[in-house]
Structure 1
Amino acid sequence: MADVVPQYRNSATLDALQELVDVAAQVPHEVARKAGLSTSELHSLRHLFEHPMGPVELARVLGVTSAASSGVVDRLASRGHVERRPHPDDRRRTEVVITESGRLEVIRRLAPMFAGLAEVDAALSPAERAVVERYLRGATAAMQALM
C-alpha cells in the first residue's frame, strides 16, 4: 500500500485494525448461520432489541426495500422472534416489536462477544482507554470518508 499512499506504513496497529475489520465483517454471517437466520434477520433483531420500529424504518436501517423488509419480518414472526403491533400513537401504522424469544436469541448469540469485549476494555487504564478511543475514532473517520 505504501507504493500507492506514501504516508501509509504497515505497523502492528494497522495489521491489528485490518484483522479486526476482517473479523467484524465475518461475525454477522457466522452468528446468523449458527442461529439459522439470514444476516438481515440477525441485523433486524439487533436493531429491534434497541426499540420497536415501523417496517419502513426497519427497511431503511437494513438498506433494503420495504418488500424485502416485510419478508424478513414475516420470517422472524413465524419463528416467534417478533410481532407486528398497532403503533401506539397512530393506529393506522404498524410497528415491529421484538419478543422475549427474539431477545433471548440475540443475547444467547452475542453476549459472549460483548462479555469478552468488556473484559478487554476493563483491563485498560483510563489513559490507555483514551488512546485506544482516539485511535478507533480516527480509524472510523478515515473509513467514513469513503461513504
Structure 2
Amino acid sequence: MDKDTQPPREDARLYDVLAHDPAARTAALGPLGADDVDQISDLLQAMSELREAERIASQASARYMELNETDMRALRFLIFSEKRGVPVTAGDLASHLGISTASTTKLLDRLQSGGHITRNPHPTDRRALQISVTPETRRSAHETVGRHHARRYHTAARLTPAERDIVIRFLRDMADEIDIKNADWIPHD
C-alpha cells in the first residue's frame, strides 16, 4: 500500500489544508509558503480543539444541572438579564432563543417543574409574567458556567492588548466568513 492509499494516522491533523485540498481548488493558497500553510493548518486545528473543549464543558454543565442545551441558553439569558435589572417575559425568551411560543411554554414548564425558574407578575405590565431564575439554579450556574467563563477571561487577560485586537479581528472575520445566512457556498431556498 503506497502512502496515498494508507489510512490517515491517528494523530493526523484533521484541519491540514493540503490534506483536504492538495490541489488548492477550494483554498486558494496564493503566495503562501509551506510554513504559512502549516501554521494556518495548526490554527484551524487549535480552533477545532477549542470547539471540542467548549462542547465537552457545555455538556458537562448541562448534565450537572440536568438540562438540555436550550434550557442552558435560556438560563444564561435570564441570569444575564437579571444582572442588568431587565425583566424577562416568555415572549422575550422566545425571541432570544428563536423558538415558538408553544416551545417556550414547554421549556418554561420544564424549567419550573425542575425548580430552576419562577413566574411572577411583571413589575410594569399587568398582562405579562416575569421569568426569574431561582437562587439554587443561579448558584449552580455560577459554580459551573461561571467558573468556566472565568477561565476564559483569565486566558484572554494573559494576552497583550495588541494580541487581543488581532484575535478579536480574526474571530470576527472567521464568524463573517462562515455566517450561514450569507454563505454563498450553501444553496438557499
TM range (shorter): 0.7 to 0.9
Runs of 4+ in 1 over 6 A off after TM superposition: none
Higher mean C-alpha deviation, range 59-68 or range 21-30: 21-30
Distance 1:127 1:47 in 2: 31
Distance 1:6 1:39, change over 3 A: closer
Question: Structure 2 unaligned runs (5+)?
Answer: 1-19, 30-36, 82-86, 182-189
Match of 2:91 in 1: 56
Higher mean C-alpha deviation, range 89-98 or range 63-72: 63-72
The count of aligned residue pairs is 146
Per-residue deviation at 1:71? 1.8
Higher mean C-alpha deviation, range 9-18 or range 118-127: 9-18
Match of 2:28 in 1: 7
Q: Cα deviation per residue 1:97-137 (whole Å; 9 max; x = unaligned)?
A: 12222211211111221121122112111121111111111
Match of 2:66 in 1: 36
What is the TM-score of this pair, normalised by structure 2?
A: 0.68
Q: Cα deviation per residue 1:43-87 (whole Å; 9 max; x = unaligned)?
A: 111110012321122122223222221122122222332111222
Question: Structure 1 unaligned runs (5+)?
Answer: none
1:105 maps onto 2:140 in alignment: yes
1:139 maps onto 2:169 in alignment: no
Q: What amino acid is aligned across from residue 157 of structure 2 in structure 1?
A: A
Per-residue deviation at 1:18? 2.5
Max Rg structure: 2
Distance 2:68 2:92 in 1: 19
Q: Which protein has the bigger helix share?
A: 1
Match of 1:114 in 2: 149
Larger relative contact order (Cα-Cα within 8 Å, sequence gap ≥ 6): 1
**Aligned partner of residue 11 in structure 1, secondary structure:** helix
Match of 1:45 in 2: 75
Match of 1:71 in 2: 106
Distance 2:157 2:118 in 1: 37
Q: What amino acid is aligned across from residue 78 of structure 1 in structure 2?
A: S
Give percent identity, aligned residues only: 29
1:129 maps onto 2:150 in alignment: no
